[in-house]
Structure 1
C-alpha cells in the first residue's frame, strides 16, 4: 500500500485520523498520545504526517512532532484488522528517513505504558527505553473559588498574564534553567509555540517580577498544561502550587473550564507532589524509547 506523505493536514484527513484513533483506543483499552493541537496547526513546509488508506478508509497513521531542532517525537497506529502486515514498519521507515533528512540527532517514540505490542516492536527496532511520563488530570467540582487553598501553597499575590514578544528572552532562559534545555533548542521551542494559533503562553509574576511560566492548549474539553516551570530562585516557597491554583481559578472563572490535564516525568517526585497537592491524579502513562540517528 502506498504511503501518503503530507505537509499539513486537510479537515478530512484530521477527521479520518480521529476515527482511526477512536477505533484503536477502544480495542486496545488505552489513550494514544497524538497531540491534536499540533495536528491542526501543521506547518505546510514540512512533511510530518504519513497516512495509509485502503478502499477510502484510513488504516495506518504516523506523525512526527518536533518541538526543538535536535529531537523529534513519533506516535502512530494501525487499524486492528490491518496489523501484522508490516504496515507500521513501513510508516516508521518513512518517518525515520524524513527525520534523517531534516538533521534530527535523535527520535523519541511514544508508547502507551500498557501497549506490550508497541514495546516489543520498539525493542526489536533497537530503540532504548529513556523515560516515562504520568498523564494526570484534575476534575474540579467546587463552584466557589474564594476559599480554595492547597497544602504548602505560597501566600504571595501571583498574577498571570499572556506572554508578549518582549518576553521571549525570559522564556528562553526559563526553559534552559527549568528543563536543562540547550539554548538553541529553547529558542526553537519558544518560536514554535509563539507562532502556533492554538497554544498560549503565560508569565507568572509576583510583586511585578516574573517567577515562572507555562503553556496552555485546549483539547477534547480539557485545558492541557505544559512547559510549566518556576524560576530556580523562587522554588521551594510554594510558588508552583500558587501558580497552578491561580491558573485553574482563572480558567474556571473566565471560561468555565473544570478539567485540567498535564504530564510529568515519573521520576520527578517533587513536581508530582505539587500536582497531587493541587488535585491532579494519575490516569495513564506513556513510555519514551530513543533512537539515535
Structure 2
C-alpha cells in the first residue's frame, strides 16, 4: 500500500515532468490510492532522498499497462531503462499482454520506445466535459450494482464491450470491488438490465469508466440517456468530469462528443513483443 507521502512525491514528480514536456501522464491515481497485496506494482528511484523516477504497473484483466517518468534533470542516466526492465520482469510473470503507455506529445518517450521491442497498438483520447445543455431522462435509470445477477451482467458486458475474457473480467471486477471506492451502476431501460457504468470521484474530479451497453440494445439512445444522467449528477456536485476512449471507437467518440465531451490530450499504447 502506498503512503500519503508516496502519493505526494509521485504527484510532485508528475507535475515537473508534465510542465517541462507539455503533456499529461496517465498515472491512474484512482488505482495508486487503492493498492493492496504484496505484488510489486510501483517502482521508485531516489537520488539524495528525492524521488526522481517512478514506474507504475496497472493490471486490467488479462493485460497490463505500464507508465512511468523521470525528472528532466535526471534523464539520460539509465534510470528509466532500469525501471522499465524491472517493470517488464514483474509484468511478464502475471500478464499475457503488456502495453507500454506514452503521451502522444512526448518525444522523449517515443525515442525511448525505439530501444524496446514493441509496436504501436492503439491511441486513446482523454476527454473533458464542456458544459452543455443536457436533459435527465427517467426512461433510463441507474442503480447500484449489488446482486449476483448484477455481477454476472458486469462480467458479460466486459466480454462483449471490451473483449476481456471471463476469467480476467472476474478477477478485475473482484479487485475493483475490494480495493476501490468507485460507484458501480447498472443501467436499466424498460425495467431490464441494459448496461453498466462506473464512476470514480477522486481529487476533486469525476472519471467515468467501464461504460458499456449490451450490443442488441445499442443504437436505441440508451447509452446517451444513461451518460447524460451521470453527467448531470456529477455536474450538480460541482465536479469536472472526464473519461477516456480509444480513437478507433468511432461510435463511442461520437456519443461522447454529442454529450459535450471534448478531447484535450491523447495517449499512445505500444504492444510489448516478448
TM bracket (short chain): over 0.9
| 1:194-224 superposed Cα distances (whole Å, 9 cap, x missing partner) | 1123222111111221111011112443210
Please give the TM-score of this superposition, normalised by the length of structure 1.
0.89
Shift of 1:9: 1.3
Indicate if the aligned counterparts of 2:234 and 2:241 stay in contact, CA closer than 8 A.
Answer: no
1:163 is aligned to 145
Alpha carbons of 1:89 and 1:228: their partners in 2 closer, same or farther (altered >3 Å)?
same
Shift of 1:292: 3.4
1:292 is aligned to 273
1:226 is aligned to 209
Match of 1:39 among 14, 27, 32: 32
Please give the TM-score of this superposition, normalised by the length of structure 2.
0.95
Q: Distance in 2 between matches of 1:75 and 1:96?
A: 11
2:254 is aligned to 273
Shift of 1:171: 0.5
1:184 is aligned to 167
Shift of 1:72: 1.1
Shift of 1:54: 1.1
Indicate if the aligned counterparts of 1:158 and 1:243 stay in contact, CA closer than 8 A.
Answer: yes
2:71 is aligned to 79
1:127 is aligned to 118
**Structure 2 residue runs without a partner (length 5+):** none
Match of 1:116 among 107, 110, 127: 107
Shift of 1:107: 1.0
Shift of 1:93: 0.5
How many residue pairs end up in the alignment?
273
1:17 is aligned to 10
Q: Distance in 1 between matches of 2:204 and 2:221?
A: 28
Shift of 1:256: 3.1
**Structure 1 residue runs without a partner (length 5+):** 1-7, 143-147
Indicate if the aligned counterparts of 2:102 and 2:269 stay in contact, CA closer than 8 A.
Answer: yes
Alpha carbons of 1:196 and 1:103: their partners in 2 closer, same or farther (altered >3 Å)?
closer
| 1:169-201 superposed Cα distances (whole Å, 9 cap, x missing partner) | 111011111112211111112111111232221
2:188 is aligned to 205
Indicate if the aligned counterparts of 1:156 and 1:206 stay in contact, CA closer than 8 A.
Answer: no
2:243 is aligned to 262
Shift of 1:149: 4.0
Q: Which runs of 4+ in 1 moved over 6 A?
A: none
